[in-house]
Structure 1
Amino acid sequence: MGEHYFASKPGTPSRPRSVDLVLPDLHLRLRTDSGMFSPDRLDPGTRILLETVPPPPGHGTLLDVGCGYGPIALTMARRAPGADVVGVDVNERALELARENAAAAGVDNARFLLPGDVEPGLRFTALWSNPPIRIGKAALHDLLLTWLPRLTPDGAAHLVVQKHLGSDSLQRWLEQQGFPTSRIASRSAYRVLHVAARPQEGHL
């Protein structure tokens, strides 16, 4: 994969290209570049997530954690035009491309931000993510514990994780943290996990 796609300012020389996001309900041509996650094709995990996840809530604020150049966030925005979508990533090159991809697709209900630029009080009715497993277990746990507690009381997250990269152990860990978690899909060694809000989050 070369330089880590979770670098804030990738040093890899720019090599622009594009990928096609083709789903039963939409087709988007997305610009990508080197120094970000899966620049040469739509990642299989992302495709499986988008093909199996239930429709997003039609209103409220929806979140894509680790949005990259925007395939998940833009799908959420297209499927829920009455909702506001926030994509977060530390990779500034990817964020800029996500903004360009949204403009090119005519999507005006999605914005792409650095994590620290998200309003602290904002709560999310849904969270979809192909999380950056390769940042390491401790960093991944910190990431999830940053965003999952910000689900609304009736909100839920859907995460796609490869089995050999720890989907089953992640499911157990989420349960131990108080997030009711179940597997809703399994395909090609990927698992799609449904993660409900912790009951006490509704009292924040």
Structure 2
Amino acid sequence: MTQRGVAHCRTMNPVTESEHYFSARPSSAATDRVVEFTAGGVDLRLDASAGVFSSSRLDPGTAVLLRKAPLPSGDGEYLDLGCGYGPITVTLARVSTGRVTAVDVNDRALELVRRNADSNDVGDRVTAVLPDEAPKDRVYDEIWSNPPIRIGKDALHVLLLEWLPRLAHGGVAWLVVARHKGADSLASWLGTHGFTAVKHASQKGYRVLRVTRAADRASEDPHS
């Protein structure tokens, strides 16, 4: 098995991935792939396919996020925003006893998440849905995301302002963003929109941001 946080991929039918990973219905033929990696001391083997984000390997940013952010261990409601084929989703479900909601706009990705959850014996605690299918009133103890930077800054801001307010009181979001793709400016922007974003860790050009509600911090300050 590979070293922790490093993925090895066996590609069964290699193809060129020309589609953006945020296509709702990829037009390329589904091509079976297997991605293997270790996270939180758990060995994982996941199915992937063409037309899904980083289907040939564990994305380096995701690897940094799973290596550097503290993985949950107990009960809770967790969200994987932009789940792809499910490396974060399945990891969270395997290392904890909580429930994980996996959200993506890509139908093929959601099918893979369901398959991977079942094959890793966590299918009863994983729900994979399109954004509009997620309950509007559900709040999450933790939100995890390797956010889709390629959709553009404005669209990314809209996405985050839609989902980060669903953090439960005292909840935390863990985001990974490449430094050269605006991690520091994103942290500053979040600070102007009701959140506190601090750099938790850095590795291989990526920042892991710990994001909380600014109101939560203020309510804990007896002098506020």
- TM-score normalised per structure 2: 0.86
Aligned residue pairs: how many? Answer: 201
What residue in structure 2 maps to residue 38 of structure 1?
54
- Which of 95, 104, 109 is the equivalent residue of 1:94? 109
> What secondary structure sits across from 1:180 in the alignment?
strand
What is the Cα-based RMSD across aligned positions, in Å?
Answer: 1.6
Scaled by the length of structure 1, the TM-score of the pair is 0.94
Match of 2:163 in 1: 147
Separation in 2, partners of 1:51, 1:11: 33
Q: Match for residue 29 of structure 1? A: 45
Q: Which residue of 2 aligns with 1:181?
A: 197
Whole-Å separation in 1 of the counterparts to 2:40 and 2:79: 22
SS at match of 2:18: coil
Q: Which protein has greater RCO, CA pairs closer than 8 Å, 6+ apart?
A: 1
- Partner deviation per Cα, 1:33-86 (whole Å, 9 max, x = no partner): 0011000000011011001111326222100000010000111111211x1110
> Shift in Å at residue 24 of structure 1?
4.7
Look up the match of 1:136: 152
| SS, match of residue 72 in structure 1 | helix
Percent identity (aligned): 48
Which has the greater radius of gyration? Answer: 2
Structure 2 counterpart of 1:26, which letter?
A: V
Residues 175, 210 of structure 2: 8 Å contact kept? yes
Q: How does 1:53-202 map to 2 (within 5 A)?
A: 53-56=69-72, 58-81=74-97, 83-107=98-122, 108-199=124-215
Unaligned runs of 5+ in 1: none
Runs of 4+ in structure 1 displaced over 4 angstroms?
Answer: none
Are the counterparts in 2 of residues 153 and 198 from structure 1 also a CA contact under 8 Å? no
Give the Cα separation in 2 of the matches to 1:111 and 1:24.
21
